[in-house]
Structure 1
Amino acid sequence: MQIWNRQLPDKIPLFKPLLSIVLLALLSIGVFLAVSDYYVNILFDRVEKQYRQNLINIVSVARHSVEPVLKKVRSGEISCAEAIERIRPMIRAMTYEDRNGKNYVFMTSYNGTTLVQPLDPAQEMKNRLDLRDIKGVYILRELIKAAKTTPEGSFVRYHYPHYSHTKTIEEKLTYVVGLPEIECYIATGMYMEHAIQEQRETLAKMKYAAILLLVALLIPIFFAVFVILNKNKKLLAEVRTRMQVEEDLKKGEEKYRSIFENAIEGIFQTTPDGHLISVNPAFASCFGYESPRAMLDSGKPIDCYYADPGERQQLLRMINEKGVVEDYLVKMKRRDGDILWASLSTRVVRNNAGHVLYYEGTLEDVTDHKEQEEKFSKVFLTTPDCIAISRLADGRLMELNLGFEDITGWKRSEAVGQTSYDIDFWVETSERDLMEKDLKAGGDILHREFLFRRKDGSVRNGVYSARSIQIAGEACLIFVMQDITEHKQTEDALQKTASELQMIFKNMFNAFVIWESVFDEEGGFVSFRFGFFNDAFARISGLKREEVTGRDVFEVWPGTEPSWIEAYGKVALTGNPDTFDMYHAPTQGWYHCNAYRPTDSPAQVCVIFENITQANRRKRPFDRARSNSGAFSRPIQAASLC
C-alpha cells in the first residue's frame, strides 16, 4: 500500500494529461461521430433528394410524351383500350442507363395487370396484384393506391430483386404517376441501398480508421476530415455539373423551340401510321392553316395531303430502307384542294429495339419553281429551233428538244449520250473546234453560218448561236440553230433576180426613173425628188445619179412646167396609172410617159420615158398640110351649097 502511494504521485502528473488526452480523444471521437453522422445524413439526404428528382424527371418526361394520347381519350376521339395500345410501345421504349446499370419505366393497370415491363417482357399482360416483397408488402397494391391517391406523383418504398447484375433483393424507391383517364400508372424506381452502399462502406472505414488513429495523436482525424471534405467537394461539383447540364439543356430547348417556330421551311413529326405529332407554323401555312394547332386539331392524317396517297407508301419504303430521304419531290394538296409541289427531306427515328417511333423532316414549297420549270421545259421542247445542251469538252449530247429531231432527222433517244462527232453532224469539224475555242475564251457566238449533215447524209445550211454554261459544276454549252437552207436558196435566187433586173434596167432602151413624192402640210402633191434612174434616163437627161439623187426637181430643172407636177400628183394620189405625151422645156424635148405607183403608198411614182421629139418634128409638116387643105376645101363646100 505504501508502494502504491509512493508511485501514485509519480503517475498522477502523467495520469491527468493521459486522462485528459483520453477524455479529449473520447470527446473528440464523440464529437467526430456526432458531427460525421450529421454530415453523412445530410450527404445521404442530398444524394437521395437528387435521386428522387431524377426519378421525377424521368417519369415526367414519360407522362408528357403520352399526353397527346390522353387528350384524345379525354376528348372522346379514342377509347381507353386504344389509348393503352398506343401508349405501351412508347413506354416500352423508355429504357435508360443510371449509375447502377440499365433501368426502365414500367406501366401497370389499376387492376394489377402488368402492361409494360421492358426488362422482363414475359411478365407483361399478367395480373400480379398479389405480388408481395420479403416483408409482406403488397407491391402493386401500394403503387396503385399511391397512383389513385396522388395521381400527380408520389414515392413508394418496397423490396424487389435487382435485375441489372444479381438477384439480390434490395430496398427500391419508386416514383409513380397515375393515368386516371385509362386507369393505369407509369413508374420507375431506384435501389437506394445499392446507390449509397459504396458511400456507407467508405465512410465506415474512415470512421474506424479515424478512431484508431485518433488514439495515436489524432492524426487520422485531420486526414479523415480532409478526405470527407474532398469527397464532399466532388459531390458538390457533380451537383453543380448536373445543374449546369440542366441549364444548358433548358437553353438548348428554348433555342430549338425558337428555330422550330421561326423556320422558313415546314418542320413536322408523324407517327408510323401517318398521324401528325407536331408541326411548325411554316408547315401549317403551306397547307392553308392559320396555326399549327388548327392543323393538328383537324385530325387529318398526312396521307390526306398527298395528291396521290400511294406516293407516301413509296416514300416510306425508301425511308425504311435508307433511313433518310432528301429533296424528294412530291405533289401534295392544300386544305382547299389546290395543288402544292413540295420538296421533302425525312428521316426515321427508331428505339433501341429497332422499332419505328416516328418520322420527322422538313418540307419546302417549290410550287413556283416547279411551274417555272415546267413552263421552260415546254418552251424548250416545243420551240421549232434546234436546241441542244452538250458537254463543252467532247460535244457529248445531254439534252435535246423536238426541233433537233425535225432539223437533223435524229431521234432524241438515238442522239442523247452520243457526241456530235458520233452522229457526223459537222461537215467541217474545224467549225466545232473554232466554236469550242471561242466559248472557252469567254465570248458568246451569235448567228454564225455553217454547214451541217442530217441523218440521211444530206448537207444543209445552218446558222447557230452558242453560249457556255455550268451544269453540276461541269462546263457545258447551249446550242441554238436554225436550218436556213431554203432561206439561203431564196436569198440566192432573189440576188440573182435582182442582178438580172438591174442588168435589164441598166441596158433597157427606154428611160426609167423613180420619183420621190414631195407633199405640203395639207397633203398636197407639190414636187418630186430624184430617186433611182437607169442609164437610158441619164443619156436622155444628161444627168449623173451621184449628183442629183435626193435633190428636188425644181432645184435641178427650175423651169419644169406645172403640168408635170399635176400629171405625177394625179398618179401618186389616186394610184391610177396614166399614159401621156408632154413637152419638157428644160430638156427641150417631147416625151411619151407611162407613169404608175409601185406600191399602195403615194410616196413614189415610177415612170418609163420614150423620147418622141424627132417623131413630133416629122409629124408637124403633115399636120400643117392637113390644116391648109381643110381651109381650101371650105370655100368649095360653100360654093356647092349655093
Structure 2
Amino acid sequence: MSVDSLFRKVGEHAMVIKKVEDKILNIVSIRFISIIVILIITFMCIATEKISQSFIDNVESEIKLELKQKVDIAYNTIAPILKLKREGKITEEEARKNISDIVKRMIYDDTHSDNYIFMSTYDGYYLVQPFEPEKEGTNMWDVRDSNGTYVIQQIIRTAKNSPNGSYISYFCKLPNSSLIEKKLTYVRGIPEINAYIGTGAYINLKYKKLYCLLNMQKIILMIIIAVIIILMVLYTYKLHKVNCSLNSEIKNRLKIEKELKNEKDNIIVQKSRLETLFNYSQDAIVEFDTSGIVLNVNKSFEKTFGYSKEECLRKNIDKLISTEETYNQTKKLTLKIMEEETINIEAIRYKKDKTPINVLVRSIYIKINNNILGVYGIYTDITEIKKYERKLEYMSIYDALTGLHNLNYFNKKINEYENNKLSSVGIIMCDLNGLKLVNDTLGHQYGDILLKNFAYVLKKSVREQDVVARVGGDEFSVILTDINRNQVKKIIKRINSNIEEFNKSLDEKMLRLSVAIGCSILEENKNIEEVIKDADDIMYRNKLINKASSKNQILSVLMAALAEKDFVTLGHTERVANMCMKIADEMGLDEERKSKLILLSEVHDLGKIAISNDILNKEGDLSEKEWSIMKSHTEKGYRIALNSNEISSVADLILKHHERWDGKGYPLGLKKYDIPIECRILAVVDAYDAMTNPRPYNKIKSHEEAIEEIKKCSGTQFDPKVVDIFISIVS
C-alpha cells in the first residue's frame, strides 16, 4: 500500500467520525443530567438538615422548659419551710428533713417511665432518691458517668454557682436497661440547708419523631436516586450503541496510522541503532572495503590508535596499524578476513606513534544479496589484561612480600630435578626464630620487615644459580645444584656470618635476626623428597636445641628496647622492687610469691614495647582511641612472657597488674581478692613512684600529696590492707 493511498483512507475515516460526533451532540448530554442529579441531592440534604435542626431545637427547648417548671414548682412548694429556716424558727436539720419528706412525694410521668425530683446535700449525700431508696444517705461524691465525668461534683458546682437554677448534661443508663443515653438535668441550689433539688430527662428519647422523619426523607432520597440511576443506565445504553460504531471506525483509523508510522520508524530506528553501535562502542571499529581502504572509523578507534577520523579515511588499514616489519603479517590477516566470514584472534597492532598494543581482532562481513561490499574490523584493547596475566604469572612463582620464589615454584623445580635425575643437589632449610613473638608484640609490620631482612641476607649468601624460596610463614628453602658437601657447609657458614654482620649494623635491636638452619645433600640411596625431609629434621632439631636461648635473646632485646623508650625514669625498677619486698615481708608472703613479685616489678610494663612513643610520651590526656591502645599493653606483655622461659611464671600477673580493687580495672575487670596479691601490692607501689617521679603525662607530687592521693583511692583503686601497710612503711 502506497503512502498516498494510506492518507486518502485516513481522510475518509476522519469524515465518518465527524458525522458520528455531530449526531451525538444532538442527543441530550450526560452533563445536563448530572447537573440535575447534583441539584436534587443538594436540595434534599439541605432541606433535611434544616428540618432536623429546627425540630431538635424545638424539642430541646420544650424539655428545658418542662424541667425548669417542675423544679420551680418543687421549690415553691418548699418555700414556706425555707422561710421558717431563714426566720430561725427551725434548725437546718429540721428544715432539711421536712423538705426531704415533701420532695419524696414529687413523682411524675415521663416519656420513658415515672420520673421524680431528687435532692442531695452540697457534700454529695443523697437525701431523696425515690427509685433507689437504698442510696439515700450515701455519699455519691466520686460517682462518674461512662465518659469519666464526676457527675455529682459537677451538679453541686452548678447548683452553687447558679442558686436560681441551671442546666447540666451527662451520660447514664436508662431505667431498667443497660443502654447508656445522654441526660439533661435542671438543678437549683438551696443554700439555706446546703442542698439542692433537680430533675432530668433523656434527650434522645424525645427525638424519636425526628428520627422517623429523617428515615422517611432518606427513603424518599433513595427512591429519587434510584430513578436517576435508571435514567442514566438507559442513557448510557443508548450512548453505547452509538459508540460501538464509532469505535469500529477509530480502530480502523488507528491501524492505518500505525502501519504508516511503523514503516517510517523502522527505517529511523534501524539507522539509529547501527550508528549508535558503531559510534559509541567501547571497541575500536573500522569499516573498510574489499581493497582494505578505510571508509569510516568510530571514536574508540581514534582514541585507541591515536589517529583522527580524517587521517584514517581513504587510507589502507594495514598500513595505518602496523610497522614496516609487521606489515606483511598484518596484510595476511586482512586477506584471511576476506576468505572467512568471521575471525577471532589475539594480535599486536601499533598506534600512530608506533607504540605496540595487545588487541583482540574480530571481523564481520558487510554483505548484501550475497555480495561482499566490505568488512567491519573490531579491535578490543587487551593490553591491561595481558599486564594482569603477567602479574598473575609472577605471583604464581614469587612471594609477594620478600620477592623470593614461593612454595609453588620450589615444588616445580624439585619435580624438574627429580625427573631429570640430577645427582648433585643440596637442600638448605631455614626457620626464622621469634617471628610470632614480634608479630604479637610489635605488630605484623615489624614481622614483615624481619622477613624481608632475612630474605635479603639469604639471597646475598647463596650463589646466583641457586633457587631461594619462602616455603612457609617463617620457613625458607634453598635448592643448590652442582654442589658437594663442603660447598654446602661454606654456604651455611656464609649465611651465619652475614646474619651476624647484619645484626651488628642494625640500629633497631628489635629486628635482630635469629635463624635455625638444616641441610642435606642428594646421595645414591636417596631421592630428593628424602633430602628435603632430612634437611627439615636437622633444622627443627637445631631449633629445639636453641629454642630457649633464641627466645631469651629476643626477650633481652625487647627489654633493652623498652628501656630506650624512656617512659620510666632511672631507678624506677629498683625503687619499686625494694618497696614491694618490704610490703611482702610485712604481709608474710612466702618465698615463691616474693620471687614472682620482684620479677613482676621488673617486667610488668614489658608490653609497652609495642606501644607508640607518641602515646607513651604524650603530655596531657589521651584520646579514647589512644587510651584503648595503651590498655592493650597488659595483653601484649602477657603474650611476650608466655614465649620466654625466664618470665613465663609471671605472665598471668603481667596480664592482671592493672586490675582495680573495685572491679573497674582492665583487661578482665577483676575485683578484690580475685586479683593476685602480687598485683595488688605492685599497683600501690607503682602508683606512688609514678606520682613522685618525672613522667611525661603528670606533674611531680610531693610525698605528702602522693600519700593523700593513695589514701583517697583506698577501697576503690587499691587494696585497703596493702595501703595501710604501705603508709606505715613510708611514714
Report the TM-score when normalising by structure 1: 0.32
Report the TM-score when normalising by structure 2: 0.28
Question: Which is richer in helix?
Answer: 2
Greater relative contact order (Cα < 8 A, sep 6+): 2
Question: Which is richer in strand?
Answer: 1
